[in-house]
Structure 1
Amino acid sequence: MPNNTTARRRREPGLAIKHLKGDYSLARSYWLHTVLLGWGTSWLGIYAIQKVGEHHAARHASMTLLVYLCVALLITAWSLAGAWMSAMKSLFGRGGRFWAILAMLSLAFGAVGTMREYIELRPALREHWAIARGEQPAEDFEVVLLEEGRVVSYTGGVNEGASRVLDQVIADAPRVTTVRLESPGGWMREGERMAAVIRRYGLSTRVDTECHSACTVAFLAGIDRTLGEGAVLGFHRGRAPGQNAKGESEAHDAEVYAKAGLPQAFIRRVLETPHDDIWTPSRRELLKAGVLTR
């Protein structure tokens, strides 16, 4: 039979329960279990979302964000509740009333701030939920071979899976030299992946009708870039899912267009164009900026 010491050790609550009961010191409960844990959770969550967004589809990034927010909310509730209990014990029994009152005020403001943030996030959360369920930014795309296998025609939105399908069609067409694009745009990251495919095969790009937003990123990957009579290229500032104003997507867009070799004056004009608007430069402007090769 186990001795009394072993039995007591087995019955002793773990860290999670002890924190909730306020058994730890105020300093540990507040600074370690609340402040530092909150910072760490935020950093890890942002890092995970960024990495998923870079290498996977938008819906996977939205799934990661939603899971992170649920986990972060549970951790925040646990840490605030336990720190509050520890502050209460310090206030009425363990001494240190001044620090206990300060901690309780800070925790109260923190709880209100967290509730406010989640309330303000509701529109963004609805959008991320729709994306996580598979919603795409534009109509379905189609990739077909034309002109006896020398031209790959891409029409439709720059949606999830566009780069993969484009890669498959090009790989099965040894005579292809040109990718013809017709798209209202879509996911910026997918446009970058399409650009990587076009660049890897060393192909030219052509637009006979229109190519907007993320489509322009794919267009800029062509060795020879041409625009048909009456066709237009449309540029604007990108927008991350759930984002309504300028933000981190602006810096990302600037980097993407700079890597494509566009001059800073042209990039500034793109970033000055709101996401819900479109800028269609003239042929002269496109030639001057190096968007078109001829």
Structure 2
Amino acid sequence: MVWNIHTVVRYLTGHWRGEHGFAWSFWINLVLIRILVLVLQEWFRPEKRQDFHEHQVLVLLLALFFHGILFVWQAVGVIRAAELYGRTSGYMAPVWGAQLVLVVAFFWVMTYTIDAWHMTRPVPDNLGIQSALQAERAEKYSIEPTPDGRSLTLNGSLELGITGHLKHRLKSYPDVKQIILASTGGNIYQARGLSNTIRQNGLNTLVMSECSSACTTVFIGGIKRQLASGGKLGFHQYRIDADYAVLNADPLREQERDRAIFLQSGVAAWFLDKMFESQPSDMWYPELPELIDAHVVTDVTPYTNDQ
């Protein structure tokens, strides 16, 4: 049979009227054509990290035709063919079966319609977002060498990535012997990473201004822990204070972990009991004799804040 425009129109009209027979309408005009449409959609799916945003109108028009107009044509023809078969054969089961299949097919088609729409949405630049977040966090702290190159001054919030930054700095400045801390806290996991790094490299810690909250965990990693005249250490109970989700975080469990770290560093148990009694909103700044007696501070330096 030679296919021309008139033949196509007759074929489309014949199915619409239910004249092709139930089996042909169901298996060919519905099942086979629908499978071909879905296979084509999968075939033309954009590559990973790509999208069809620049061709949004075309994609949505194609989705409207194949998942809208074409599906309505398929469904109407199958229903009419099933009804005609039921009237001539006396069996209604095909009618009910066809209706059930069409309900399932409808939801299937809707899924692919939404999928086609998602293909037109701009793919987020995850790498760019991650880089921007890292840059934003890096602006909240600094790790700079002193003029003699024998100390690194860590100043600011303890953000994600700061442990790696410190390790990189230590490679660049191999003569560093101590870390000068000036921080009001931050991420406790990063604080532990910094503390371990300091301990593993045999470095001392020095506070000339303030080191409070999670910063004290960093401070306790020092082999020799020094407090300058005018410097202070602040302690409080743990809490979750982050602008991002911290999965499976339990402040009490984290306190116990750091309690073990402080005990291993020689800090007195009575000091830790008092340390975790302070509410997060009420920072506790122990006096110097108390810090020395509890072995939190092991040495007092002659430095002052304006040196």
In the superposition, the TM-score normalised over structure 2's length comes to 0.48
**Which amino acid letter does the alignment assign opposite residue 290 of structure 1?**
H
1:223 aligns with 2:220: no
Q: Deviation per CA, 1:4-39, whole angstroms, max 9, x where unpaired?
A: xxxxxxxxxxxxxxxxxxxxxxxxxxxxxxxxxxxx
Runs ≥4 residues deviating over 2 A: 133-139, 240-261
How has the CA–CA distance of structure 1 residues 145 and 246 changed in structure 2, closer, same or farther, with 3 Å as cutoff? closer
Gaps of 5+ in 1: 1-132
Question: Paired residue for 1:185?
Answer: 185
How has the CA–CA distance of structure 1 residues 246 and 159 changed in structure 2, closer, same or farther, with 3 Å as cutoff? closer
Q: How many Å separate the matches in 1 of 2:176 and 2:249?
A: 40
SS at match of 1:176: coil
Q: How many Å separate the matches in 2 of 1:197 and 1:221?
A: 8
How has the CA–CA distance of structure 1 residues 207 and 174 changed in structure 2, closer, same or farther, with 3 Å as cutoff? same
1:287 aligns with 2:287: no
CA displacement at 1:134 relative to structure 2: 5.6
Question: Paired residue for 1:256?
Answer: 261
How has the CA–CA distance of structure 1 residues 134 and 272 changed in structure 2, closer, same or farther, with 3 Å as cutoff? farther
Gaps of 5+ in 2: 1-131, 300-307
Matches within 5 A, 1:154-173: 154-173=154-173
How has the CA–CA distance of structure 1 residues 155 and 172 changed in structure 2, closer, same or farther, with 3 Å as cutoff? same
How has the CA–CA distance of structure 1 residues 147 and 137 changed in structure 2, closer, same or farther, with 3 Å as cutoff? closer
In the superposition, the TM-score normalised over structure 1's length comes to 0.51
How has the CA–CA distance of structure 1 residues 174 and 246 changed in structure 2, closer, same or farther, with 3 Å as cutoff? closer
Task: Give 1 or 2: higher helix fraction.
Answer: 1
Q: Tell me which moved more, 236-245 or 214-223.
A: 236-245
CA displacement at 1:263 relative to structure 2: 1.2
CA displacement at 1:174 relative to structure 2: 1.5
Question: Paired residue for 2:121?
Answer: none
CA displacement at 1:175 relative to structure 2: 1.2
Across the two proteins, how many residue pairs are aligned to each other?
162
- Mapped contact 1:198–1:221 kept (Cα < 8 A): yes
Q: Deviation per CA, 1:70-127, whole angstroms, max 9, x where unpaired?
A: xxxxxxxxxxxxxxxxxxxxxxxxxxxxxxxxxxxxxxxxxxxxxxxxxxxxxxxxxx
Aligned to 1:276, which of 269, 274, 281? 281
Q: How many Å separate the matches in 1 of 2:137 and 2:265?
A: 24
How has the CA–CA distance of structure 1 residues 256 and 239 changed in structure 2, closer, same or farther, with 3 Å as cutoff? farther
**Which amino acid letter does the alignment assign opposite residue 186 of structure 1?**
G
**Which amino acid letter does the alignment assign opposite residue 150 of structure 1?**
R
